[in-house]
Amino acid sequence: MWFKNLQLYRLPTPWAIDLSSLEEKLAAKPFVRCGSQDMASRGWVSPTGSDVMVLAVGGQWLLALRSEQRLLPSSVVNQVAQDRAEELEAQQGFKPGRKQMKELKEAVTQELLPRAFTRRRTTYVWIDPTNGWLVVDASSAAKADEVIEQLHDTLDDLPLKLLDTERSPQSAMSDWLASGEAPANFTIDRDCELRAITDEKAAVRYVRHPLEGDEIPNHLAAGKVPTRLALTFDDRISFVLTERMEIKRLAFLDIIQEQAEKAAAEGDPQFEADFALMSAELARFIPHVIEALGGERQIV
């Protein structure tokens, strides 16, 4: 269950909700599979596959949202509807009009939907109620928005806001690349994307490529700005920082994995041991990222 992406949100510190109340509200909105005429469904499940809706370890909470979607491509609906339209044309002697075609497509959708395959996805949410963090393991803001929408629908009050830092990631990454120096506790890795701000949106992408020398500063001087930069924190966590303040391609390095295996060998269930170690590492990592970006912006 190691997170691979971080979409970061802020909660009040401390967040005034107790664990039993949270579990009760999640249990009231459980996941139910798609009905025969449902295109999609989503709801909360136990992160561990038990009857416990929140995994709580050391004051850290883990939630799991499951979604299911029926796979019925519009091209399939259109093709079947077109076949039916041709049959109807032969019967009535003229092509179906716009209204008839709309009705045909609706009928075909209702007919095919119960037979369509479904695809499931489970998205994990880490909450640190003491320090005010809510983090979604989602690769895009759109996918995280689904989770946040479900949380708003589940909880009476969710005082949530996006993380905002004094410096934008783009500005900070530009300085790090121009100087060739990462902020304290970080090192610059070998992946980077630079994009022009002109209408052409010309882009240069480096993959497993050294970022030293004059090449990168020359691109910056020519007006390109960084949109992604690979970094490593304290030789423990590697990741890609994006211009939108997203953490992607998160990887916990060998030393952390070894610690998790040791904790499991000493009696802690592997899933709980992994979560305990991951949340502890992220609780240390995130403040350093914020510090590297000039600190959290304070609204006066």
CB 42 within 8 A of CB 8: no
- Tens-place pLDDT, residues 120-160: 999 999 999 999 999 999 999 999 999 999 999 999 889 99
CA 92 to chain CA centroid, nearest Å: 52
- Partners of 195 in the beta sheet? 203, 225
Q: What's the pLDDT at 257?
A: 66
| Helical ranges in 59-196 per DSSP H | 74-92, 98-112, 141-154, 169-179
How far is Cα 62 from Cα 97, in angstroms, rounded to an integer? 53
Residue 37 has pLDDT above 90, yes or no: no
Selection from 279, 265, 286, 284 nearest residue 56 by Cα: 279
Q: How many CB atoms lie within 10 A of CB 90?
A: 8
117-134 in b/e burial notation, b at 16+ Cβ within 10 A? Answer: eeeeeebbbbbbbebbbb
Q: Residue 14 has what pLDDT? A: 78
Non-local CB neighbours of 108 within 8 Å, separated by 6+ positions: 77, 80, 81, 84
Model-level pTM?
Answer: 0.84
Q: Which residues are 238's β-sheet partners?
A: 232, 251
Nearest 5°: the CA angle 98, 103, 106 is 125
Residues 43-61 pLDDT 10s: 999 999 888 999 999 999 9
Give the distance between the most distant pair of CA atoms in the chain.
Answer: 78
Helix (H, G, I), strand (E, B) or coil at 229: strand
Asked whether the beta carbons of 133 and 10 are under 8 A apart, the reply is yes
Helices 270-292, 254-265: crossing angle, 10 deg rounding: 150
Residue 267 pLDDT > 60, yes or no? Answer: no
Token pair listed for 198: 């002109």
Torsions phi, psi of 240, nearest 5?
-120, 125
- How many residues does this entry show for the chain? 300
User: Which pLDDT value is given to residue 24?
Assistant: 95
Q: Which residues contact 142 (CB under 8 A, 6 or more apart)?
A: none
